[in-house]
């Protein structure tokens, strides 16, 4: 019984961009196959000629590539018409299906379709995740399995393909659970071996309903665009509805493939929590090499190479993902900040003191080495301690960034470089001098 080689599959239809929820289903299928030394198949379910689009098929491939999920295939149902035809004929011949004359109620409907002859029985199956499930098939009626011999429909094609491709475990989203009895009926009529079913819980939006376009970003590749790392997405997705039973949270896909089991998959749906995703992404961001980080930053920030070399580690301190850089006010790195002179003065300080501190600071920094942030800090720290850290440091930092919130003055000075730093400080000094007279 357990002799069967593990074969799982993901069977998306190219009728829209590949969904983040589908990505998780694919991941679970993939992981289960890997965990059991099995095979993972990608099958494009494009029997609906009206709605299937090549661009969406591409989107599916790009999605798998981005996540790094290797698969067997891809197979396309649109290329397997002859196979289905043969199976439909078998069903017709055995009396399990029949050609039904119909009244076309809607435009495009046929006057003749092929229906499955429902034996009206009770179908029981054991779902690996949900447990025993029972359906009365009588309320399904004689459902349509093909428009004609050359135009098979979903239920038929899934069963035929899963049967012929020797799929051992059908791991799919819970929304498919009510399709299962129909498919078991066809499968039995065709004499295929029954796969093990595992219906994984849905990915939910914050309102607890199935995630859809109206909830925001649902296409997997939207997350690529937003600057998330595929490793972070995988790690996050794996933890929606599954957990290792330990307190380890960071997993590479290889580690996941080792640990994954259907027994630990949750029964109920899981709400998609962007904050947690961001946290995962940050974990991976912190592990990236300097080169990778610089490359990522370049997509969102224009900065001289040499300056970027000093700024990269500071830039990622305040973000979870690269695209967050868009929301950061970073213009002060490239252009002289514009600000109100009065903002140069720290809390209880005044313009006279601030002017003096600026003057002294400029002198100190002119003699300082700028080869590291520490050098800069060391040169001015004692003076700041003596006069009051806020009184000295705030004007410097403000003169450099023009912002109430920014990295510390030493870091800023280091990134901007000596020439630019001194110039901005002189500028500030000039402004405050003018204010006084």
- Catalytically active residues are 213
The answer to whether the beta carbons of residues 237 and 23 sit under 8 Å apart is: yes
Neighbours of 259 (CB within 10 A): 18
Nearest to 353 by CA among 413, 296, 418, 435: 435
Q: Residue 314 burial by CB count (10 A; 0-12/13-18/19+): exposed, middle or buried? A: middle
Nearest 5°: CA angle at 223, between 38 and 331? 145
Helix (H) or strand (E) holding 47: none
Cα gap 434→428, rounded to integer Å: 10
Cis peptide before 74 (omega within 30 of 0): yes
The CA-to-CA distance between both ends of the chain, in Å, stands at: 93
Q: Residue 247 burial by CB count (10 A; 0-12/13-18/19+): exposed, middle or buried? A: exposed
Torsion of CA 350, 355, 360, 364, to 10 degrees: 100
Please list, in sequence order, all residues whose beta carbon lies within 8 angstroms of the beta carbon of residue 246, skipping any fewer than 6 positions away. Answer: none
Least distance in angstroms from the C-beta of 279 to RNA = 4
The answer to whether the beta carbons of residues 103 and 85 sit under 8 Å apart is: no
- Token pair recorded at residue 58: 């591409």
3-state secondary structure of 161: helix
Helix (H) or strand (E) holding 237: helix 230-238
The stretches of 20-53 forming alpha helices (DSSP H) are 20-35
Kindly report the backbone phi and psi dihedral angles of residue 291, in degrees, each rounded to the nearest multiple of 5, phi listed first.
Answer: -60, -45
Write the DSSP string, 169-185.
Answer: EEEEEGGGGGGHHHHHH
Nearest to 296 by CA among 313, 277, 278: 313
Q: Report the chain's C-alpha Rg in angstroms.
A: 31
């Amino acid at each position: 019984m357990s002799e069967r080689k593990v074969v799982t599959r993901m069977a998306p239809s190219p009728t829209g961009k590949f969904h983040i929820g589908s990505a998780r289903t694919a991941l679970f299928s993939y992981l289960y196959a890997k965990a059991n030394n099995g095979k993972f198949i990608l099958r494009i379910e494009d029997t609906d000629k009206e709605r299937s689009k090549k661009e969406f098929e591409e989107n599916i491939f790009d999605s798998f590539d981005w996540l790094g999920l290797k698969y067997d295939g891809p197979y396309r149902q649109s290329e397997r018409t002859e196979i289905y035809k043969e199976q439909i004929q078998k069903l017709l011949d055995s009396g399990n299906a029949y050609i039904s004359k119909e009244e076309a109620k809607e435009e495009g409907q046929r006057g003749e379709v092929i229906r499955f002859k429902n034996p009206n029985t009770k179908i029981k199956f054991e779902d690996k995740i949900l447990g025993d499930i029972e359906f009365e098939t009588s309320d399904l009626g004689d459902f349509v399995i093909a428009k004609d011999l050359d135009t098979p429909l979903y239920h038929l094609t899934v069963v035929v393909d899963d049967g012929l491709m020797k799929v051992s475990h059908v791991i799919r989203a819970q929304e498919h659970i009510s399709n299962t009895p129909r498919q078991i009926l066809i499968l039995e009529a065709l004499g295929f071996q029954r796969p093990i079913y595992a219906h994984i819980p849905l990915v939910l939006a914050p309102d607890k309903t199935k995630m859809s376009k109206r909830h925001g970003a649902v296409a997997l590749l939207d997350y690529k665009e937003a600057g998330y790392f595929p490793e972070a997405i995988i790690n996050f997705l794996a933890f929606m509805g599954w957990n290792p039973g330990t307190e380890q949270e960071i997993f590479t896909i290889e580690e996941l493939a080792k640990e994954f089991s259907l027994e630990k998959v949750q029964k109920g749906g899981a709400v998609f929590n962007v904050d947690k995703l961001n946290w995962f992404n940050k974990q991976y961001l912190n592990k990236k090499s300097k080169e990778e980080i610089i490359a990522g930053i370049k997509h969102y920030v224009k900065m001289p190479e040499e300056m970027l070399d000093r700024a990269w580690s500071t830039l990622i301190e305040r973000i979870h993902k690269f695209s967050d850089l868009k929301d950061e006010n970073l213009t002060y790195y490239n252009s002289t900040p514009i600000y109100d002179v009065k903002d140069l003065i720290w809390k209880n300080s005044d313009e006279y003191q601030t002017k003096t501190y600026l003057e002294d600071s400029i002198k100190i920094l002119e003699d300082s080495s700028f080869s590291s942030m520490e050098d800069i800090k060391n040169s001015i720290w004692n003076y700041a301690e003596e006069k009051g850290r806020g009184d000295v440091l705030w004007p410097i930092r403000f003169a450099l960034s023009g912002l109430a919130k920014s990295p510390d003055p030493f870091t800023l000075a280091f990134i901007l470089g000596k020439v630019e730093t001194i110039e901005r400080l002189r500028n500030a000094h000039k402004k405050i001098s003018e204010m006084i007279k």
